[in-house]
Amino acid sequence: MTQVQTLPTRREEAFRYTDLDALAGVWPVEREEICVVAGTEESRQVVELGEGAVARHLVIRLEKQAKLDLRILSAGPVFGRIAVDVELAEGADFTLGAAQLATGSETLEIVTEVTHLEPDATSSQTVRTVLAGHSTGTYLGRVAVARGADGTDAEQSVRAMLLERTATANARPELEIFADDVKAAHGCAVGELDAQGLFYLESRGLTPPQAKRLMLQAFIAEAFTGAPGEDALSEAALARLEAIL
């Protein structure tokens, strides 16, 4: 496999919203190859909370009936790009739960390309992004279903919450299907905290920051539900959330 050495431009779809200056500092990005062998199960966590710019590229292969549970918490204070390419063989199962939390002028992005190569594989992606200040949060997610990969079940649930109108969310779930019998669902929403919900909580005595935190905590938790190490992930996310609010 060849590795791209020249810095990409924004004309490339997968880099359209990136922070090129920050990316230049960490380029080229090393490919991290992961293979889950046939019939086995694995779980992985990627937690990026460090001070510096980060770009990672996971290249994952799931063999027949293999299962991977991948969780990502990306909340570094400068730039964070996590690209995940996944290829699924027959009957494989891929779960992604990712949360991005940003403030200031940070740029965070998650870029996935999930390819169902063979029949009866399932993939489920849940991405929750919380953005304050002038930050930018991006999810670009492509699901490709190859010819003959019947019985595919692919799901994408993408939601971003803007705490201030100065923040920017980009979300683009994408499907490319060449098989006949495919179940694919995607939901995508960018919004603000529900004002009615906030008032309800405040009317019971929660201060406005408490009410916000409680609702955002629940929002982020959706990315980590059912994960091994769910509590630790949620706690780390909460600590970062407190800093953002």
The identity of residue 149, as a single letter, is: A
Contact call for residue 238 and other proteins (CB under 8 A): no
Count the site residues for other proteins by CB under 8 A.
23
Nearer residue to other proteins within complex by CB, 26 or 215: 215
Nearer residue to other proteins within complex by CB, 104 or 209: 209
Residues 215, 232 contacting (CB under 8 angstroms): no
Least separation in angstroms between residue 178's CB and other proteins is 35
Q: Which segments within the chain are labelled E, that is strand?
A: 31-36, 41-48, 54-62, 67-74, 79-88, 93-102, 107-116, 122-131, 136-145, 152-162, 168-177, 182-191
Torsion of CA 198, 204, 209, 213, to 10 degrees: -70
Stretch that binds other proteins, among 80-88, 107-115, 156-164, 199-207 (CB under 8 A): 199-207
37 DSSP 8-state letter: P
Nearer residue to other proteins within complex by CB, 178 or 199: 199
Stretch that binds other proteins, among 19-27, 54-62, 175-183, 218-226 (CB under 8 A): 218-226
Stretch that binds other proteins, among 64-72, 79-87, 110-118, 212-220 (CB under 8 A): 212-220
Contact call for residue 189 and other proteins (CB under 8 A): no
Selected binder of other proteins within 21, 33, 176, 194 (CB under 8 A):
194
Contact call for residue 196 and other proteins (CB under 8 A): yes
Say which residues have a Cβ less than 8 Å from residue 205's Cβ, sequence separation at least 6: none
Q: How far apart are CA 129 and CA 191, in angstroms?
A: 10
Q: Cα–chain-centroid distance for residue 122?
A: 17
Contacts 24+ apart (CB under 8 A), 8-14: 13/140, 14/83, 14/111, 14/140
Contact call for residue 180 and other proteins (CB under 8 A): no
Stretch that binds other proteins, among 19-27, 77-85, 168-176, 193-201 (CB under 8 A): 193-201
Selected binder of other proteins within 43, 181, 199, 235 (CB under 8 A):
199
Q: How far apart are CA 155 and CA 77, in angstroms?
A: 30
Nearer residue to other proteins within complex by CB, 206 or 245: 206
Selected binder of other proteins within 215, 232, 238, 245 (CB under 8 A):
215
Residues that bind other proteins (CB under 8 A): 194-197, 199-208, 210-211, 214-215, 217-219, 221-222
